[in-house]
Amino acid sequence: MTEMPPPGEQKLRVSIEVLRQDAAVWDDSGDIMRRAAQVAARLDLAALHFSYIGDKVGLVELYRQLQDRMIRLLSEGSETCETIATSLRSAADGYERDEAANAHDINNIY
């Protein structure tokens, strides 16, 4: 297996920009999930919204459990998206720091 040559400065800059763009997409996804969780939390079906029989067989409780689970999953998904976005931005920052340090080292050699 042949070793790939190190990326050029332009390729590195493009890669860093793509990491930042992907981070923005993950942020947007997290925002969407957070808003969906907020909407789900405002839903308020109670026994009066179900038939008498539906209430007696447990549909109200089942609905409440489903709502709680949906809110939890959406909230966790939002947090996960934010964590991914933060990690991508951190990676991009690290690449920029490494590139700046390497350029500084090379300039001091010559």
Q: Is residue 5 part of a domain?
A: no
Mean pLDDT of 18-30: 97
pLDDT at residue 59, rounded to an integer: 87
Alpha helix (H) residue ranges in the chain: 9-42, 52-56, 59-109
Mean pLDDT of 75-93: 97
The answer to whether 73 touches 41, Cβ cutoff 8 Å, is: no
Asked if residue 55 has pLDDT above 50, the reply is yes
In three-state secondary structure terms, 4 is: coil
Specify the pTM. 0.73
The whole-chain average pLDDT of the chain stands at 86
Q: Is residue 1 part of a domain?
A: no
pLDDT at residue 5, rounded to an integer: 47
Provide φ and ψ at 5, rounded to 5°: -70, 155
* C-alpha–C-alpha distance, residues 66 and 35, integer Å: 17
Q: Is residue 28 part of a domain?
A: yes
Range of the domain at 26: 12-109
Q: Is residue 58 part of a domain?
A: yes
Q: Is residue 4 part of a domain?
A: no
Give me the number of domains the chain comprises. Answer: 1
